Amino acid sequence: MKKVSVIGSLFIMMIFILVSCGGDGSKNQKSNKPTVKNSNKKEVAKKEEVKEITSKGEDKNAIPTPPEHLAKARSIIAEVSKNDVEGVDAKKKFKNLCAICHGMKGNMEINGAKDLTKSKVSLEEAVAQIYHGKGLMTPFKGILTDAEIVAVSKYVEEFRN
Ligand code: HEC
């Protein structure tokens, strides 16, 4: 009978050890939780970063066209010949180079492109922006001739009607 009780108590000891191991296991799980929280923190940080970039982008939009860009635009407009501008197939140029972001009707706003149907920019500002680029819009200096830039600037004004 004594042997049985010894074996019984050994059994109980074993169960205790097992249970305490299980306890450790749960502790491990607990210690895992902060790492999950950390990755959440990282995600939050990432989101904040993205927010910052977007708000920076918006700030950029608010920045007016630099005066030297406007001065360059004025000289482009003054120097192009009316014939050269009228000879440009502006619709085709727009379709090939601008529609990927602005859409065929100017109102697509892909890649943060501005809705050209609601645009209020002057011809000068449009020429400056197309020549030098702005924000996410790539510059077209060297891609379009001066006459083509003026023609396409006039063409996009038609979207407003
Ligand atoms: C890579 C995409 C992209 C392409 C291609 C592109 N644009 Fe843009 N466009 C933009 C973005 C983005 C803005 C807003 C820029 C800003 O203000 O930060 C913009 C703004 C403009 C504006 C000023 C609108 C306003 O009210 O401020 C005009 C005009 C314009 N684009 C004309 C054109 C023309 C013409 C072409 C083709 C020669 C063209 N864009 C090609 C992305 C593009």
CATH of the domain at 142: 1.10.760.10
31 & 54 share domain: yes
pTM: 0.70
pLDDT in tens, 1-12: 556 566 666 666
122 & 75 share domain: yes
143 & 126 share domain: yes
> Average model confidence (pLDDT) for the chain?
79
25 & 71 share domain: no
Question: To test ligand 1's pocket by mutation, which of 102, 116, 159 has the most ligand atoms within 8 angstroms of CB?
Answer: 102
Q: Assess whether pLDDT exceeds 70 at residue 22.
A: no
82 & 148 share domain: yes
79 & 41 share domain: no
**For ligand 1, which residues put their CB under 6 angstroms from it?**
60-61, 94, 97-98, 100-102, 111-114, 116, 119, 121, 126, 129-130, 134-138, 140, 152, 156
34 & 94 share domain: no
Given this model, what pLDDT does residue 77 score? 98
Paired tokens of 67: 């005066």
144 & 131 share domain: yes
Q: Which domain holds residue 127?
A: 65-160
Q: Assess whether pLDDT exceeds 70 at residue 17.
A: no
Given this model, what pLDDT does residue 63 score? 75
Task: Tally the domains of the chain.
Answer: 2
Average pLDDT over residues 124-141: 96
Question: To test ligand 1's pocket by mutation, which of 129, 148, 157 has the most ligand atoms within 8 angstroms of CB?
Answer: 129
50 & 74 share domain: no
> Higher-confidence residue: 64 or 66?
66
Q: How far apart are CA 20 and CA 89, in angstroms?
A: 82
pLDDT in tens, 95-106: 999 999 999 999
Residue 94: exposed, middle, or buried by beta-carbon count in 10 A (0-12, 13-18, 19+)? buried
Q: Assess whether pLDDT exceeds 90 at residue 43.
A: no
> Higher-confidence residue: 52 or 90?
90
Average pLDDT over residues 115-120: 96
Residue 116: exposed, middle, or buried by beta-carbon count in 10 A (0-12, 13-18, 19+)? buried
